[in-house]
Amino acid sequence: MSFKSLDELRAACLDLPAGSFEAEATVAQRQITLTKPQGSLGRLEEIAGWLARWQSRDMPKLDRVKTIIFAGNHGVTTQGVSAYPAEVTVQMVKNFANGGAAINQLARISNAELEVIPLDLDQPTADFTQAPAMSEAEFLAAINTGYEAVDKNLDLICLGEMGIGNTTPAAALAAALFGSDDVQNWTGRGTGVDDAGLKRKIAAIEAGLARHKAALGNPLQIAACLGGRELAAILGATLAARHHGVPVLLDGFVCTAAIAPLARLHQQGLAHVLAAHVSAEPGHHRLLEALELKPLLDLGMRLGEGSGACLAVNLVRSALECHVRMASFDEAGVSES
Ligand SMILES: O=C(O)c1ccc[n+]([C@@H]2O[C@H](COP(=O)([O-])O)[C@@H](O)[C@H]2O)c1
Ligand SMILES: Cc1cc2nc[nH]c2cc1C
């Protein structure tokens, strides 16, 4: 699938499969028979049902789990909004390839494949305080890269990102979609900017929102004007996952902001997405609440690169293992209540 216009993309965002409620109900019925007090595995029971619904399988599988990291660079870094220089993006992409990053360890331990997709790293997006971050063509190219990266045969996908400066577009998107009056409440320190940097970040986001005021009613235009290539690719990948019946584990603030436009376009747009964790970035908690997503983990992480999502694969595997391998009351000869 390759979207040629924003209208075509919008139409695809409105045409979303609902998954199999039947498979989800079958899971709930089996859960009742397993040797545990009713409901005692809490959200692990829900997770098994969620996998079944989106895989459309009574007995879900986790044979092929994959993490994709999309990487992009941002013109707005010239406003002094990050604690690190922009060249770290490309340096970290090399580190991913050499197996030296946190995500390499987490992916291995979660038994997840890892793919890193750099998006025109030598060509940062425009500084959104001065111009739209991306032209429509650039935005659609990034969406299409993300869409095409998702293989139909996956059982679960973790989405992650790498991009120095990208908590600034993430906060700008969150503010543009869910309330632009209090930018300071969407804006945090990202990689650790100091007080002066935080002030510059808030000012840049306010300037961006003012400059792109005309786009604010349109979620896809917001994503093009204020977002970034890796954020657009994550949005495209999330849409593809929905169309292909692949459940999604979502990482931190940046990934959540990236896919928020889909929630704005369709009431059930993120039903196939589970928030793996809430990051330490203060806007993430608020954004998850606005999206009615309940994070699985709260470990004070603020790394990005798909780390929180990949960590939560272990929880999803645990949920499935209990669902598939536990004995029933009958099988084990355990008395029911
Ligand atoms: O997604 C998050 O929750 C998150 C929170 C803080 C930092 N990050 C990562 O840090 C980078 C962005 O931080 P910054 O300060 O450069 O905007 C980018 O590479 C993200 O992967 C990510
Ligand atoms: C070193 C480093 C690693 C990262 N991984 C994701 N974002 C990052 C930002 C920095 C600065």
Q: Tell me, in angstroms, the distance from the centre of ligand 2 to residue 88's CA.
A: 7
Q: Is the pLDDT of residue 36 over 90?
A: yes
Domains, the chain, ordered by start: 65-314 (3.40.50.10210)
pLDDT tens column, 202-218: 999 999 999 999 999 99
Nearest Cα neighbor of 179 from 207, 203, 209 is 209
Q: How many helices (H) and strands (E) does the chain have?
A: 15, 5
Alpha-carbon torsion angle 142, 145, 149, 150, nearest 10? 70
| Per-residue pLDDT tens digits for 8-31 | 999 999 999 999 999 999 999 999
Q: Which residues line ligand 1 (CB under 6 A)?
A: 82-84, 161-168, 190-191, 193, 251-254, 279, 281, 284, 302, 304-305
pLDDT band at 180 (very low <50, low <70, confident <90, very high): confident
Q: Are strands 65-71 and 113-118 parallel, antiparallel or unpaired?
A: parallel
Atom of ligand 1 nearest to the CA of 161: 21
Binning pLDDT at 50, 70 and 90, where does residue 153 land? very high
Confidence of residue 1 (pLDDT cuts 50, 70, 90): confident
CA of 84 to the centre of ligand 2 (A): 8
CA of 30 to the centre of ligand 1 (A): 41
Active site residues: 305
Residue among 159, 166, 229 whose CB has most ligand 1 atoms within 8 A, to mutate: 166
Counting ligands in written order, the one closest to the CA of 101 is: 2
The two structure tokens encoding residue 85: 């220089």
Q: What is the pLDDT of residues 221-275, one digit of tens each?
A: 999 999 999 999 999 999 999 999 999 999 999 999 999 999 999 999 999 999 9
Q: Ligand 1: which atom is nearest the Cα of residue 89?
A: 19
Quote ipTM for the complex: 0.99
pLDDT at 74: 99
Residue 94: nearest ligand to its CA?
2
Q: What is the pLDDT of residues 81-122, one digit of tens each?
A: 999 999 999 999 999 999 999 999 999 999 999 999 999 999
